[in-house]
Structure 1
Amino acid sequence: MNQVIETILNHRSVRKFEDKPLTKEQIEAIVTSAQAASTSSFIQAYSIIGVTDKEKKKRLSEIAGQQSYVEHNGHFFVFCADLYRHTLIGDLEGRDVEPSIESTEKFMVALVDASLAAQNAALAAESMGLGICYIGGIRNQLDEVVNLLKTPKRVIPLFGLAVGYPEKISGQKPRLPFKHVYHENTYEEKEQTYLEELKEYNEIIQKYYEERTGGKRKDTWTEQMGTMLEKQSRMYMKEFVEGQKLKLR
């Protein structure tokens, strides 16, 4: 096993950071690493906004559900799906690019591009001994986030990435078993096998929480997911995305 794989496998979310900002060099290294990620057809359909303004970070923290680590970290990045510059390319080259830009396919390309870039950024940060935490909570009120960050049409803030020096590192949550995730040649749609594996995984997660909390918590993974999925959240997203002139066709 090499150092890169060790860094990947050592990942865990960090939710408490030291009061120490990242250096300019660290920020540039993280963003440059993000840019080195694969991108569909070289389209590079994403942008990254670094938020350093204290009031903006505080407001983003509130929007994300009072998550303090959005406000208190070494640096806060917001990854955006971005097809705005491609609209300008159409003007520059005299091409009718709007039908393509407004397609579900290009919307998916922008989502994938941004996600690949973000994971490169996360790995780069962790390789420097920093901690990270992804923040999907900024999608709770995207209208306000758009106004706060002044993003134009065809740009959608997708998630944040809090980065900093870990003050506290929690235990690593056990992931789904390999056999439950990896399929070979065809999708193994065996309901009874899935249910058995889920029960096994529930026991692993329950033990993890019991040990971590001294017996105060012992919910299972399927209990968590059932509760979360039963509660409808961010159901405004389709209308919001279409309002940004993306995913219309």
Structure 2
Amino acid sequence: MITSPEVRTLIQSHRSIRRFEDKPVPQQVIDDLVESARWAPSSHNVQAYSIICIRNQSTKDKLQELCGNQRYIGQCPVFFVFVMDFYRHAVISEQNGSAFEVEEIENLLVGSVDTALAAENFLLAARSYGLGGVMIGGIRNEAAEVAKLLKLPKWTVPVMGMCIGYPDQQPWQKPRMVKQAVYHEEYYQTDELESQLAEYEQISADYYTKRTNGKRTDGWGKQMSAYFAKKRRANLTDFIKRQGFPLK
């Protein structure tokens, strides 16, 4: 059996990097990251994603604005947009004279998962080169404007962005949910969930208290309660429907 402790260390040491050295990422490295993304798992080999590489400063600045003014988008050497993409499938269906039944939620899930798996492969490969990055869900804040800027055709949806560059920081690693709450054997177990959540609340509150020198003391549970108390990206559903996914 071949073991790869370096791979496990890479996976388990994830941190979001938001400050980068003023140093370009070589094209041959980017080509290899794309190759790694191409070999991600794909449901039924659908491969429903595309990757857009953006170096142009004015485009990065506009995307920064559309993503909620996250300054690291404009500051990173190169920015990528990972797009759920069924446009190729529409073209090939037309060429073969077959129906194009892509309207159900199932296909939206397949495309989103394909895109996310490709993005994760991409980020892990980037880190193997000594690069760092952060995924940007804010790419969906103004999805219609992003689509216009990037000339996205019908049957495509921007799922996430990603800043990539050589790290200029060493941020703390956020503690994750306790294993007992996310790992189940044989069936979904809830008997100990409240105590598990309480344990994680204390762990995460301690983390934020230490990281901010007491300026922030709320734990994961309070943060999530506040997060889900508000409706988010209400215009995204209409955009997705206009892109050819009526969510049947």
Q: TM-score range by the shorter chain?
A: over 0.9
Partner of 1:207: 206
Q: Deviations over 1:123-176 (max 9, x none)?
A: 001111111100001111111101100000001111101111111121000000
For residues 65-99 of structure 1, what are the alpha-carbon distances to aligned partners after superposition, in whole Å with 9 as ceiling and x for unaligned?
Answer: 11111111121110000000001111121211x22
The secondary structure found in structure 1 opposite 2:184 is coil
Q: 1:248 to 1:125 in 2, by over 3 A?
A: same
Q: Distance in 1 between matches of 2:144 and 2:95?
A: 29
- Which residue is equivalent to 1:167? 168
Match of 2:84 among 75, 81, 86: 81
Question: 1:230 is paired with a residue of what secondary structure?
Answer: coil
Runs of 4+ in structure 1 over 4 Å off: none
Which of 19, 25, 31 is the equivalent residue of 1:28?
31
Q: Give the length in aligned residue pairs.
A: 245
Indicate the residue corresponding to 2:54 in structure 1.
Answer: 51
Q: Take 1:140 and 1:14, find their aligned partners in 2: how far apart are those partners?
A: 21
The separation in 1 between residues aligned to 2:163 and 2:206, in whole angstroms, is 29
Q: What's the % identity of the aligned pairs?
A: 42
1:11-22 aligned at under 5 Å gives the runs: 11-22=14-25
Q: Which of the numbers 38, 43, 49 marks the counterpart of 1:40?
A: 43
SS in 2 for 1:33: helix
1:107-122, aligned counterparts within 5 Å?
A: 107-122=108-123
Whichever residue aligns with residue 215 of structure 1, its letter is G
Give yes or no for the alignment of 1:6 onto 2:9.
yes
Alignment check: 8 A CA contact 1:46 1:82 kept: yes
- TM-score of the two chains, using structure 2 as the length reference: 0.96
**Aligned-pair CA distance for 1:51:** 1.1
Native 8 Å contact 1:156 1:241 kept in 2: yes
User: Residue in 2 aligned with 1:157?
Assistant: 158
Q: Which structure dedicates a bigger proportion of its chain to helix?
A: 1
Q: Take 1:81 and 1:237, find their aligned partners in 2: how far apart are those partners? A: 14
RMSD: 1.1
The match for 1:67 is: 70
* 1:84–1:185 distance in 2 versus 1, CA, 3 Å: same
Question: CA offset at residue 237 of structure 1?
Answer: 2.0
* Structure 2 residue runs without a partner (length 5+): none
- Residue equivalent to 1:194: 193
1:248 positional shift: 3.8
What is the SS of the residue equivalent to 2:50? strand
Map of 2:244 onto structure 1: 245
- d(CA) in 2 for partners of 1:48 and 1:85? 13
